[in-house]
Every structure is written in structure tokens, then in C-alpha cells.
Amino acid sequence: MSDLDQYVDSAKKGKLASTDTTVLEMVDISEPSYTRARALLLMNAQRKGDDKATRKYLDQIMLLPENQYNPVYLTDYARWHVNHAEYDKALEKATLAERYWARIAPELVFSKKAEIFEIQAAAYQGRFYKSDEDLELLSSAIKGWEKYRQHVSTKSRTDLQKRADAELARLQDIREKLQ
């Protein structure tokens, strides 16, 4: 058992104690357990809804070159950007995550690919809303939601399909009004 295993359950619940956080933050970048420590801190921050800490730990994780191509961290980064209306950065990170999806653990492939496709669709949709009715961005958003819907339908996730259907209906209605 790794020394860091004792923090997993608390991090998953967003319940790391301040002393635990301090211990994990003291893991130096040169140590082999650096990424794992930062991943636990990131998980804890995400579960707590601590946006500032989430960004801080994502930045720290990305300091290591091998993490800059990790689709799980890239997806987390893309999610952070799309949630902050930084759509170009979200698309950049999500596209990079999609390029490296084969590195995702098999049990996470479906959910991470769904998240990547959702972020891409939402980023195009956000770019469209910020634009002056750019029909090309609208078309990209529709294609993105269709790609997301197709992916989630492979596992019969009707809840996710309904989300895609709602976004598609909204965007197709907009397209009809603009044409």
C-alpha cells in the first residue's frame, strides 16, 4: 500500500483535512508520487467546488511534461476552461485530450470520451453565443452535440441522450430562425 492511499477516500469525498492537504502539497515535484499527490488534491478541490484550488492543482499537475498529454488531466482542464467561458482554450485542451484518448484506462474510456465530446460541443456553442450569429460556429456546435449524442447512445445512457437532444433542439431552432 502506497503512503498516499490513506488519502484516497477523503479526497473522493472532498473531505481532506488541512493537515492532509499540507502533507500532500509538501510532495516535491522531483518525487515519483508528485502527480498522484496533486491528483488527490485536485479531486478534493473538485468535490468541494473550490474553483481556485482546482485551477491551482491543474496548473501544478501540468508542470510535468508527461502530464501535458494525459487525456484525463486535459479533460479536467478543458472542463475548467469551458466553465469559465474560455472556449478557445477549452477546445484546445479537449481536442488534445481526444487525440490522446487511447491513453485512458479502459474503465474510463466511455465517460472521458463523453466528457471530451460534451466540452467540445459546449465550447462551440459558447463561441456561437458570443459571436454575432456566426452560422459556422452554430453548425460546429450542432455537429459537436450530434457526436456527443452518438457516443452516449452506445451505452444506452438516456439521461445523457436527453441532454444532447435538448441542446440540439435549441440550436436547430436558432438555425431555423437565422436562415
Give the model's pLDDT for residue 50: 96
User: What's the rounded Cα separation, in Å, for the pair 164 and 19?
Assistant: 42
pLDDT digit string (tens) for 82-97?
Answer: 999 999 999 999 999 9
pLDDT digit string (tens) for 45-80?
Answer: 999 999 999 999 999 999 999 999 999 999 999 999
Q: Is the dihedral of CA 133, 137, 139, 141 positive or negative?
A: negative
User: What's the rounded Cα separation, in Å, for the pair 68 and 52?
Assistant: 20
pTM: 0.91
DSSP-derived secondary structure letter, 40: H
Q: Is the dihedral of CA 88, 61, 144, 49 positive or negative?
A: negative
pLDDT digit string (tens) for 97-138?
Answer: 999 999 999 999 999 999 999 999 999 999 999 998 899 999
DSSP-derived secondary structure letter, 27: S
Whether residue 121 contacts residue 147, with contact meaning beta carbons closer than 8 Å, is answered with: yes
